[in-house]
Amino acid sequence: MSTFVLLTITGFGLAAMYFLIASGLSLIYGLMGVLNFAHGLFLTVGAYSTWWFGTHLTGLGNVTVRYLVSALIGLCVGALFATLVELLLIRPLYRRHIEQVLVTVGLGLAGTALVQAIWGQDSRPFVTPKWMNETTTVLGAHVPNDRWVEIGAAAAVLVGLETFLRRTRYGLIVRAGVENRAMVTALGIDVRKAFTLVFALGGIAAALAGVLSGVYFSTIDPTQGTNLLIFAFIVVVIGGLGSIGGSALAAVVVGLLQQYVNYYASSGIGDMAVILLLGLVLLARPRGLAGAFAT
Amino acid sequence: MSALPAVQRTRPLLSVVDLHVYLGQSHVLQGVSFDVADGGVTALLGRNGVGKTTTIRAILGLVGRQGRIVYGGDEIQSLATHKIARREIGYVPEDRDVFAGLTVDENLKLAERDAEPRYGLVYELFPELRERGKQRTGTLSGGQQQMLAIARALLNDNRLLLVDEPTKGLAPRLVTEVARVLERVAELATILLVEQNLGVVRKLARDAVVLDQGRVVHAGSAPAFLGQPELVRRLLSVSVA
């Protein structure tokens, strides 16, 4: 029983990171039609920024304060980086989807190589508050505390994005733009501002995933973003392009499936199970669990 | 091109000059030129596939185009679509293009551009939209969606409305209703109307521009054009009762 509980909560923790990457990815594709292969780099930028400031802001003393401050800086850097990518690389290629894909693939590869060139290929230990590495006992399972942080952060992002989409004018523009971008512009709305905003939000969420993946895996390395991006793409497709709720549901299914299969079948089989699930969903519901609407 | 008298009574609100549009390998519009008078309804007519909808979309910049578009004395062809729409141009697209995942209220809210949107007028013309405010638009009937598409364009104080086949696919009772609404709207704004139903054109239009194979083949008074059954049959392939 305790093993099952541990697997479940850890699966939710993994799902939280998938969701944080997938939510931005899904909105960006749903609204702009951009398959952003550089999205994993947003995670890497957030993770390395947090790590770098975490190791250099030693004057702050308290590890918890240092972690929170460096994480906040990491999120800001992630948002700034994503905004610049949209303004400088994506916007000039508006409606040229093949070129956009090529540019984001190139940026993802070049960015990863640059991180490797500067900080090396080796994993870097991530400075985290002591209490995050301790455990809480739940039904006999000793659950690492960072899992609660990851789940809580993803839940907060889910609620925040839903509130943004449902309660704000920009959210309305994004939801409408996911359905019919041309008609939104024909109503006199500059949808490009929504593009930049969505990219910035996606950058923040991915950077948050970077901050939390450093805690989850205890280390960061240059390929972490790319590795997680593969599963985030699967989550987006299963959940339905443009759907935040669909991404959340799909992230939970994928995270739990990986954990259960890796433990109860064999380590490594979990990834294959996810691919199989993707195939089944595409056969049964080609538009994903939640269809094309931003919900 | 045949022409009938009484084309222009006032300075044109909109002038389309030598408009060309290529869609893939197709040269869809091949130098289209016409004026839309300030006030009243100008009908844009033609058989299926001659470029009527493409003309409307080209005016709004929704498709790439070459040529000049002069609106209210200013050239607008270099402006982005949202900036063209902000110059008080409303659009009712051919397939309604309401946002199916949004509610009726949200569709209207999204269309708000003026400081004081004309909800009074909208609900006076379409009282059903008020009752169905919380309903998701994708669940509305075709007629209700058409009402919403028109309402969206009426919410702001537009000078020009580009209305593309508003009666397409509607039951006869709804066609009459839509025509009645457009007649009222024509008192408030100039309308460039794409319409296949000649009964509606006869009721509303003052001028008519006829396209064939991407070119203007006739421009003139709508009643005079419709009064020539042979010309109508030749250009539109329909009989005038």
- Stretch B16-41: mean pLDDT: 96
Dist. CA B193–CA B195, nearest whole Å: 6
pTM: 0.83
- Tell me if A292 is assigned to some domain: no
- Tell me if A32 is assigned to some domain: yes
ipTM of the complex: 0.91
Q: Shortest CB distance from B102 goes to which of A175, A187, A188?
A: A175
- Tell me if A289 is assigned to some domain: no
- Tell me if A291 is assigned to some domain: no
A vs B, Cβ pairs < 8 A, gives 61
Distance from CA of A254 to the nearest CA of B (A): 26
Number of domains in chain A: 1
For B153, the token pair is 């364009």
Q: Find tokens 């590869």 and name the residue.
A: A109
Q: Where are the domains of chain B?
A: 11-88+190-241
Architecture of domain B11-88+190-241: 3-Layer(aba) Sandwich (3.40)
A-chain CB neighbours of B145 within 8 Å are none
Q: Dump pLDDT digits (tens) for B32-83.
A: 999 999 999 999 999 999 999 999 999 999 999 999 999 999 999 999 999 9
User: A92: how many CB neighbours lie within 10 A of its CB?
Assistant: 11
Distance from CA of B233 to the nearest CA of A (A): 34
pLDDT (0 to 100) of residue A172: 94
The yes-or-no verdict on residue A293 having pLDDT over 50 is: no
DSSP H helical ranges for chain B: 52-60, 81-85, 104-111, 119-125, 127-131, 142-154, 172-185, 198-204, 222-226, 229-236
Q: Dump pLDDT digits (tens) for A229-261.
A: 999 999 999 998 878 999 999 999 999 999 999
CATH code (residue A79): 1.10.3470
Q: Give the residue numbers spanning the domain of A53.
A: 2-284
The yes-or-no verdict on residue B4 having pLDDT over 50 is: no
- Tell me if A162 is assigned to some domain: yes
Dist. CA B30–CA B55, nearest whole Å: 11
Contacts of A6 by beta carbon, 8 Å cutoff, 6+ apart: A141, A142, A143
- C-alpha dihedral over A3, A4, A6, A10, to 10 degrees? 140
pLDDT (0 to 100) of residue B1: 52
- Tell me if A34 is assigned to some domain: yes
Helix (H) or strand (E) segment spanning residue A157: helix A145-167
Instruction: Give the chain A residue whose CA is nearest to the CA of B84.
Output: A188
A-chain CB neighbours of B106 within 8 Å are 172, 175-176
- Tell me if A290 is assigned to some domain: no
